[in-house]
Structure 1
Amino acid sequence: MAEAHQAVAFQFTITPEGIDLQLSYQALNLIYRSGVRSWKKRVSRMRNRVIKGVFPASPSSWLFVAIGILATMYMQSDPSMGLISKIQQHLPLSLHVSLSDQGQTMLSALVFSTLLWLSLILALRFCLKLLLSYHQWMFEQHGRISNTTKIWVTLVRLFSSQKPLLYSYQTSLPHLPVPAIKDTLSRYLESVRPLLEDTQYKRMTDLANQFESNLGNRLQRYLKLKALWATNYVSDWWEEYIYLRSRGPIMVNSNYYGMDFLYVTPTPVQAARAGNTVTALLLYRRKVNREELKPSRVPGTDIPLCAAQCERMFNTTRTPGVETDVLQHWQDSEFVAVYHRGRYFKLWVYRAGRLLSPREIEHQMQKILDDPSPPLPGEEKLGALTSGDRIPWAQTRKQYFSSGVNKRSLDAIERSAFFVTLDTEDQGMEGDDPVGNLDRYAKSLLHGKCYDRWFDKSFSIVIYKNGKSGLNAEHSWADAPTVAHLWEYTLATDAFQLGYTEDGHCRGEVDRSLPHPQRLVWDIPSEVQTQVSSSLAVAQTLADDVDCHVFPFREFGKGRIKKCRISPDAFIQISLQLAYFRDRGGFCLTYEASMTRLFREGRTETVRSCSNESCAFIRALEDGEAEDQCRQLLRRASEKHQNLYRMAMTGAGIDRHLFCLYVVSKYLGVESAFLKEVLSEPWRLSTSQTPVQQMELFDLKNHPDFVSLGGGFGPVADDGYGVSYIIVGEDMINFHVSSKHSCTDTDSHRFGKQISKALQDIMNLLSTDPKTSSRGSAHPQPKKQL
């Protein structure tokens, strides 16, 4: 109880001699320093609001405007054309009495200067918004840039010369445009042409034409009306109807995972790895709160991307509801929730306004690891409520977690900065079965034991017994690139900035007076324990059905692909199409995630990678056509894919528009056979690239083993594949393949082999091209083998 006594700032007792007042100076000092930290954060937020409010100008620019106006007035000139005199006439009577004529003129000039300055800021912001609305640059060929684009690039760089905060560009980003319904339908029909027989395609064309001429234009008008007042006409509906209203388990079906380094584990000490990882995450949170992170940009350009998803990264949880879940975000949190061997702990990571050192957090984590207390009845598998169906969890939460000790303990988890699991297993590639170990590592991060993660948290960190780490992220609040940016920073800061001592412990000193991590207390009745068992059974069935396969492809990487004058992403996507064709004997509707963060509050759009051009190439290759013809078809398919990706990024995609039209139809209570059929089509091949956004944090030249494994997700369709890939450096591509054991037509390992073969076959085809063979002959050797 020592820490409880220290928390009391003062005590007093009444005696015959009077009142005996005893002050705890240590507690008062803690309160004072915590208050100072709170006020510093408030001042920092106010300062950032001012800086963002005047962007792309700076607060100091007001002084230049004011001095310029006063200087011209001193030279007997009136730059305001009489406005300063009118302002002076309308000054309050009290100022006329208290100020001299010269003082009134000076004050009026300052008021005019301020109004002029604000007008210039609005004009600059409008110009910046117009500039960021120009997207033709994406469609121009390399080396053939138009004069318009050259002028545009110069102007964008001029506006970007001011050092922006994380959210500085938000109000200058354009709104996502609503495509013309005729264009969307035309692009949709083109995308399904290679998948349908002639009669099926004619039927779908008739449905599309009927939809356009009747219901479509009516729905379009409502959608355009929403786009006029909404910041983004897609994102709120996408978040609600695709994520928050889903009533099935979010584990596997929605949540995704990120992995540690492939070859390296910075320390084998579990508590130490947890100490550095938690510290790095909190340092990132500090940068987000202070807006010190540089705004993300389109790689190789000065074009900013929307940063809105960063706002709910920390201190956020998804709370279940009967009809829809709700995302709850708290302004700040000074603790994390920790799970170990069936027990939950509340670990304070700040003391008197000071972030604990990595060594101190390690010390606290070790206390949790050494704690011998057993789980309370019903506590060990309580997390299964978050991995099962949402409606039972919502009902149980409302009935049994709305008051008392259960509410206080649940609040500690939900209000925490993030969730940490100190796992009791070893994971990673090392061992006698490296291929199988990677697969088990992926499954562990995707679902674990189904009760040792808190899947509702914005993200959960997993620290394994051997020091390996990873994360599991909830999907509704943000997409993978946002989480990948966080995880890149965490891995790099852990390994290269914070580091470890020779014996594998965190650096720094330890304050031995730190209170013990607080054990959360529960009162779990038998009814809740029964529901926990039911939710766990649902989750376990889902987890056991997932077939994960992770493999690094090291025959070549983007370096060699670029030498063949082809887009690496297009190369990989066409290879996936070829692999699927060989695996299943046909083509399928293919989903590739693209971002729309060029627009305010943009999230994702679908690139329908299976195109007429890619199918023509694959058929020619498989039919043994001449190599020259195959290469020509391949380049056409690559150009088509790049164009589809650019259109998706610039708001001219297909699926988000059709999805929103469908939502409007539901609101109006009207049925559309066309929309119903489109939205029921299965995505049997769902793919996504994990972008590497901060290569400057990793010195792969001097530390080649510190390569990331990326992350993955579960299959979208019961009879399909989920494929995630990350292009690491110049010579490696890591793949994550998932499917379901219950489908006899899919096999993740078999598909992984087909991917490797497809990649090599297409590279062999390009390598025989006389135009590129001399450039692409170099075959880099991998530094390590599994």
Structure 2
Amino acid sequence: MAEAHQAVAFQFTITPEGIDLQLSYQALNQIYLSGVRSWKKRVSRLRNRVIKGVYPASPSSWLFVVIAILATIALASLFFQCKMSHFSWSQTKKQICTYLKKYISGQTMLSVLVFSTLLWLSLILALRFCLKLLLSYHQWMFEQHGRVSNTTKVWVTLLRLLSSRKPLLYSYQTSLPILPVPAIKETLSRYLESVRPLLTDPGYKRMTELANQFESNLGNRLQRYLKLKALWATNYVSDWWEEYIYLRSRGPIMVNSNYYGMDFLYVTPTALQAARAGNTITALLLYRRKVNREELKPSRVPGTVIPLCAAQCERMFNTTRTPGVETDVLQHWQDSEFVAVYHKGRFFRLWVYTAGRLLSPREIEHQIQRILDDPSPPQPGEEKLGALTAGDRVPWSQMRKQYFSSGINKRSLDSIERAAFFVTLDDEEQGMRGEDPAGNLDRYAKSILHGKCYDRWFDKSFSIVIYKNGKSGLNAEHSWADAPTVAHLWEFTLATDAFQLGYSEDGHCKGEVDRSLPLPQRLVWDIPSEVQAQVCSSLAVAQALADDVDCHVFPFRDFGKGRIKKLKISPDAFIQISLQLAYYRDRGGFCLTYEASMTRLFREGRTETVRSCSNESCAFVKALEDGEVLIHSLILHLFRLASERHQNLYRMAMTGAGIDRHLFCLYVVSKYLGVDSPFLKEVLSEPWRLSTSQTPVQQMELFDLKNYPDFISLGGGFGPVADDGYGVSYIIVGEDMINFHVSSKYSCSQTVSKASVTFMFGCDIGHFVHIWHTFLHLFPTSPLL
């Protein structure tokens, strides 16, 4: 829209009398207002840089220091003068005024300003250093609930004092501690302990020998390089993790990397597709505004004042993963005033700002409806063009370089890649509905995860899907951020859509419409036969991958964290041990289990692995499955040990004492040095047949779930990590519900996540529920727990 106005802002014709210049004042006014908006954002960014640059102090404290130093020096000098002159204070009002006027002039004032500024900066650095020391204290996490040490109490008091000022989103970034490199001996010891229940005695002995050889020979050499990187880099893991785990993957990112988020389970705020799109797009742009202005409160450890790293928010919008031959690249633009929209094979650029203001939800709905009503057919090769982002990365990179680096194809591709985000107006209906709600819920999950394999743009940081019946969903690219960051965004969007923006009685968005808004712009393509052939090839690869994914969403309503916490058990530990029991009952053994934990207590921290299959959890499962009449006190004791062990593993992962990221970085260093390690090679090739993750819920108090119980979030899920394994995502909703998302592959006969007959790991739904009730029956009022 801005380009269209600029194109007609100046019109001129050459006449015999000279040049006849015509100006469109309306267009010039819009250009002026857009410029004002741009400069306001620049000023706001500059202001925020100053405020967060001096945190935990404030910019106004500089004036306080200047006045204090000036007053101290002046009074001290005046006192000395008075003492030398032998006159009393009561006689010197006039002399004081005369003296101060003389004193506050010239070089003395300049010297005071310079000295005060340097002192102020020194105090800021001291305060920031103290805050960093406080945030480096993690012993609080390992203390039992209700038994807080005096050290921790003092620590909490000091942390509250230094954090008393209202922080901006990124205020804590420079005060967060650096992720420490664990001692190699401790990492190897923890690794051997984690694989003990999975190996036979000879296998464990062999692995122990490999670990000892690695430590005595190559390990210490690799560790020295890693410590050197930790001294130089902000985070010794994150850049390598992003590059080698995500960006260097040459296979499809659809299903294998991207993940999804779902709409409310029971409620659809409006059945009008255009209206739902209008509010959803508006809510997302309001969130972007808060991020740009740093008005969002920094995320914290739930129930504490301890901040988490917010670096992942920086690339949330206006970001695209662009393909390369060897590695992809994340491209981020400072701002974008439009979104890219896909509908029935056509791509559109939708401007969401006019005259420097954000369009109202009703205006965005009006523009979306124009797209829905557009009868024009797709251009040749346009309909399935998005399949290039769903297939292998190398062919997409070659096509992009050869056919999308210039001309109209480049301009159209830029409109997609530079957009704030991508929107798909799906022509299907989804949700838990009809005569087969469970089956429809599974199809809903698959639709968001991969769709038709060509109607999503999987390279965008995230894509929004709005279905024909008003349901919505989100598909997120994984390299730029992890699920908690995206969950925060999606939760804000759903809550703002339903409770802040709302709808009129007839289901439309609220607000007025400027009917003079220009039409959304169709993107124009010139797609040759070579590209169309590659589109078909990429689509075949993606379709085979999508057809093999078996998704099942299961809302578990028998009980939730409310009843579990009454037993003084960690809900996450309860679920993880339940998963171990379910897997054992289905497969007759245990497997390497991945649970994602965050390391955002540290600067630029991302995730760490919690190896949930432990000696203690296996001992409990085997005892429970022994088949003989067992003493309940013994089972209670084993379960308590398993639960405490899991919580301790989670705490260690959060505080930088995990296993897998350290070993991964040692492996990367070995590759740079050109040396092979049989130990590291075997460790990093072990399959994660059970990959699990908990999605956080209600990070922001935008509405009360108790007062609005129907507005339950379904959470989200991801594809299976191993061909013969499961991907399990769960979200603990309120006090009485847990939603599970289970994925596996149809091609593996040993894994089943079928909705109509089974729930998890091949177990019948009733059988799995029985597992949970077995736990609850064992621990009704146990004093041990």
User: Residue type matched to 2:531 in 1?
Assistant: V
* 1:32-431 equivalences in 2 (<5 Å): 32-76=32-76, 102-431=105-434
1:492 and 2:481 equivalent?
no
1:701-759: CA deviations, max 9, x gaps? 22110000000000000000000000000000000000000000000133524677446
**8 Å contact kept, 1:767–1:773:** no
**8 Å contact kept, 1:279–1:358:** yes
Matches of 1:20 and 1:114 in 2, distance apart? 58
1:220-263: CA deviations, max 9, x gaps? 00000000000000000000000000000000000000000000
Q: Helix, strand or coil: the match of 2:179?
A: coil
TM-score by length of 1: 0.94
1:731 aligns with: 736
1:764 and 2:774 equivalent?
yes
- How far apart are residue 102 of structure 1 and its match? 3.6
Q: Helix, strand or coil: the match of 2:661?
A: helix
Matches of 2:428 and 2:331 in 1, distance apart? 32
User: Residue type matched to 1:279 in 2?
Assistant: T
- How far apart are residue 582 of structure 1 and its match? 0.9
1:658 aligns with: 663
Runs of 4+ that moved beyond 6 A: none
1:513 aligns with: 516
Q: Which of 717, 720, 723 is the matching residue for 2:722?
A: 717
**8 Å contact kept, 1:72–1:78:** no
Matches of 1:16 and 1:606 in 2, distance apart? 78
1:643 aligns with: 648
1:669 and 2:691 equivalent?
no
Matches of 2:766 and 2:640 in 1, distance apart? 20
Number of residues of Structure 1 aligned to a counterpart in Structure 2: 756
User: Residue type matched to 1:215 in 2?
Assistant: L
**8 Å contact kept, 1:280–1:490:** yes
Q: 1:438 to 1:5 in 2, by over 3 A?
A: closer
1:26 and 2:26 equivalent?
yes
Question: Unaligned regions of 5+ residues in structure 1, if any?
Answer: 80-98, 776-786
User: Residue type matched to 1:455 in 2?
Assistant: F
2:85 aligns with: none
Matches of 1:701 and 1:153 in 2, distance apart? 30
TM-score by length of 2: 0.94
- How far apart are residue 28 of structure 1 and its match? 0.6
Q: Helix, strand or coil: the match of 1:14?
A: strand
- How far apart are residue 763 of structure 1 and its match? 4.2
1:503 aligns with: 506
- How far apart are residue 613 of structure 1 and its match? 0.2
Q: Which of 527, 549, 554 is the matching residue for 1:551?
A: 554
User: Residue type matched to 1:265 in 2?
Assistant: T
1:42-94: CA deviations, max 9, x gaps? 00000000001100100011111111111111212599xxxxxxxxxxxxxxx
Matches of 1:751 and 1:104 in 2, distance apart? 80
2:620 aligns with: 617
**8 Å contact kept, 1:576–1:755:** no
1:378-413: CA deviations, max 9, x gaps? 000000000000000000110110111111100000
- Which stretch has the larger CA shift, 58-67 or 566-575? 58-67
**8 Å contact kept, 2:272–2:469:** yes
**8 Å contact kept, 1:594–1:645:** yes
**8 Å contact kept, 1:580–1:751:** no
* 1:567-716 equivalences in 2 (<5 Å): 567-624=570-627, 625-716=630-721
Matches of 2:78 and 2:328 in 1, distance apart? 60
Matches of 2:666 and 2:179 in 1, distance apart? 15
- Which stretch has the larger CA shift, 760-769 or 307-316? 760-769
Matches of 2:105 and 2:769 in 1, distance apart? 79
**8 Å contact kept, 1:766–1:772:** no
1:96 aligns with: none
**8 Å contact kept, 2:74–2:103:** no
1:784 aligns with: none
**8 Å contact kept, 2:265–2:711:** yes
Question: Unaligned regions of 5+ residues in structure 2, if any?
Answer: 80-101
Q: Helix, strand or coil: the match of 2:554?
A: strand
1:473-503: CA deviations, max 9, x gaps? 0000000000000000000000000000001
Matches of 1:30 and 1:456 in 2, distance apart? 32
- How far apart are residue 695 of structure 1 and its match? 4.9
User: Residue type matched to 1:26 in 2?
Assistant: Q
Matches of 2:130 and 2:700 in 1, distance apart? 32
**8 Å contact kept, 2:2–2:354:** no
Q: 1:461 to 1:358 in 2, by over 3 A?
A: same
1:521-546: CA deviations, max 9, x gaps? 00110010000000000000000000
Q: 1:751 to 1:195 in 2, by over 3 A?
A: farther
- How far apart are residue 771 of structure 1 and its match? 3.0
Two-structure CA RMSD over aligned residues (Å): 1.8
Matches of 1:665 and 1:693 in 2, distance apart? 42
User: Residue type matched to 1:764 in 2?
Assistant: T
Q: Helix, strand or coil: the match of 2:464?
A: strand
Q: Helix, strand or coil: the match of 2:342?
A: strand
- How far apart are residue 774 of structure 1 and its match? 14
Matches of 1:456 and 1:17 in 2, distance apart? 55
- How far apart are residue 342 of structure 1 and its match? 0.3
Q: 1:756 to 1:48 in 2, by over 3 A?
A: farther
Q: Helix, strand or coil: the match of 2:701?
A: helix
- How far apart are residue 699 of structure 1 and its match? 1.9
1:538 aligns with: 541
Q: Helix, strand or coil: the match of 1:299?
A: coil
Matches of 1:150 and 1:766 in 2, distance apart? 34
2:90 aligns with: none
Matches of 1:563 and 1:519 in 2, distance apart? 57
